[in-house]
Structures are given as C-alpha cells and as structure tokens.
Amino acid sequence: MKHILVTGGGGFIGSHLVESLLEDDFNVVVLDDLSSGKRENLPDDERLHFIQGDVADHGLIDEVFNQFTFTHIFHLAAIASVHESVTNTYRCHQVNCEASLYLLEKARRCPALKRMVYASSAAVYGDDPVLPKSEDSPIRPISPYGIDKYTAEQYMLTYSRLYGVPAVVLRYFNVYGPRQNGGSMDGGVASIFLNKFLSDKRPVVTVYGDGQQTRDFVYIKDVIGATRFVMSHETAAGNVYNVATGRETSILNVIQGLETITEQKAQILFSEKRTGDIERSFANISRLRALGFTPQYTLLASLREYVAASGEIEHLQAL
C-alpha cells in the first residue's frame, strides 16, 4: 500500500493539509512530536497512521521509511520560532536543517516518490527593502531560523538537480486561520488579535510600532490549495514559489477588519517597535499564477470565515 508522509502533520498548517488529503482518499502517515502540534487537530480515520516522534531522530526516520512506501512527502515539521532559533540555535538547526537533509537522503532512495514539497518561509528574504519579494529577490535572513530555512531550500533544489528528487519549495508568507496558536508570541498576528476579540467584550490589543507596518496575510485554505496544486503539477519540481496573496496589508487594517466583523471596537495600546521587526513585506506571486494557481480569499472574507469557524459569532453575541 502506498502512503503520503506529512511531517509536522499535527500542527496548524499540517493538520489542514492532512484533512485535505484524507478527503481525497489518500492514505496518510503523520510524523509529529507534538511540541507545538496537537493530536486533537487530526481526525480519527483508518487511513491515517500517526507516529509521535522527532523528525531529527534518524533511527525513527529509518523505521518509518522501512515500514511504509511513500509516493509523496510533505515536509512541514520545524521549530517555527525566530525567538527560539536565537536562544536555542543548534537544536533548531538540527530540526530545521539537518533533519531536512536526512529526509532528502531517504527520499532519493524512494523509487515510488512522485513529489516532495518543502515548507519554507518568507523569513529567508530578511530585511532587504526592495518590494514586492519575488523568488529571485536578494536573500538576507536576519535570524538563524531564516538561515536554516534557506539552507534546507538549497538542499532540496540541489537534490532535485543531482539526484532527480522531485522537490518543490514553497515560501509561505503570513499564514493565518483556524488552529493557529493565538496565545503564543510566535503565533501569527491575525490569530493573536482574533484571540483578543473572541475572549474580551472590549478587546485590548498591543501593537508594536505605529501599526503601519505591512505583511502579506494569506489564509490557510489558500495555502493548502497552493500546496496541493504543486503536489501534482508536472513542471513544479525543482522550483521555488511564493505562497501569498500579492497584497500589502497593514497591521491596523487587520484590526479594522476584525472590528467590522465582530462589531467591537478595540483599544489599541501602541508599544515600542521590537528590534528586528521588518517594516514592510509582501510578495510577488506571478510565478505561482503562471503555474496556474490563484489565491481566492480576500482579507475580510477570510477573517469572517475564521471568526465563524468554531461558532465564534454565537459566542460573541452571547457576551
């Protein structure tokens, strides 16, 4: 029996991807140490085989590849924390870079493999001021996290050229949506703000800087759509693609959108800008569009769906 491997499948993005694959009747193996993911993010399904373990454990990876035959590998497992990459650099390097290389070694010896998709990050672009960011923009990471992500990208592309591993690199921008951790400093800002709106009658949100800093916010359903799209596209292998909307949105615009949807007015506390925060960021997605994929969600439509995802509108009306 053939399977699809999703590393980090218990996490925010990974669990949505697993759901999408199961809906299309694939057999899925999830490897996740649950350091940030949750088992309850995944459904009980006979087509799903869950393995709790560390993606950097080479012995465990050997066992997984000996037990299963994979047609596709989605490598999403990571310590997705810039802060932790600064305070615990080598451990993050083991998970974010060395584990990726070891997976590639297994993948190149997997004759049934049709596609390997690597989840990278806009963090590789760093603080280069030229906008929008295209896949050919200068790479200037400002954290160990960004360095590890870019290094792993290069391994993916090199293994594609040298050994024929059908690898695709996706640079996710500011992803948000259900199951994202809104209570963590490493959670997306949209989810952090939404958590405030859903838990308080009069939400108080902290904005670092003046709120005019911008990001390219992309909804989880568009991210999964793009990820699934490159899974089977014939010419995607060996390439890098930005996964974003191509729209520049300010932090204050996100707050205003949540105010409109929830009919609540936020109290905004402006705090000192954090060291290392990038002022502006958004993507050029012409390469992904040329491949045939176009994101579907506007900011307001996605925020509305996000708020309603777990019956939260009813919760707000009851306050």
Q: DSSP characters for 229-246?
A: HHHH-TT-TT-EEEES-S
* CATH for 45: 3.40.50.720
Let me know if 118 is a catalytic residue: no
Query: What is the per-residue pLDDT for 183?
Result: 64
- Its domain, for residue 304, covers 180-216+246-281+297-318
Q: Which pTM was predicted? A: 0.95
Same domain, 29 and 86: yes
Convert the pLDDT of each residue in 168-212 to its tens digit: 999 999 999 999 987 655 558 999 999 999 888 889 999 999 999
Which residues have a Cβ under 8 Å from the Cβ of 275 and sit 6 or more positions away? none
Residue 87 lies in a domain: yes
Closest of 169, 318, 139 to residue 236, by C-alpha = 169
Same domain, 160 and 188: no
| Bridge pairing between strands 48-52 and 167-172 | unpaired
Same domain, 135 and 260: no
Which residues have a Cβ under 8 Å from the Cβ of 301 and sit 6 or more positions away? none
Query: What is the per-residue pLDDT for 123?
Result: 94
Vertex 129 angle, CA 293 and 75, to 5°:
45
Residue 287 lies in a domain: no
Residue 256 lies in a domain: yes
Residue 250 lies in a domain: yes
Same domain, 41 and 133: yes
Same domain, 255 and 137: no
Distances (CA, A) of 106 to 57, 87, 252: 13, 30, 45
pLDDT in tens, the chain (319 residues): 999 999 999 999 999 999 999 999 999 999 999 999 999 999 999 999 999 999 999 999 999 999 999 999 999 999 998 889 999 999 999 999 999 999 999 999 999 999 999 999 999 999 889 999 999 999 999 999 999 999 999 999 999 999 999 999 999 999 999 999 876 555 589 999 999 998 888 899 999 999 999 999 999 999 999 999 999 999 999 999 999 999 999 999 999 999 999 999 999 999 998 776 788 999 999 999 999 999 999 999 999 999 998 555 444 444 3
* CATH for 275: 3.90.25.10
The catalytically annotated residue of 118, 145, 176, 297 is 145
Question: What letter represents residue 129's amino acid?
Answer: P
Query: What is the per-residue pLDDT for 315?
Result: 45
What is the C-alpha to C-alpha distance for residues 45 and 254, in angstroms, rounded to an integer? 36
Domain count along the chain: 2
Same domain, 210 and 226: no
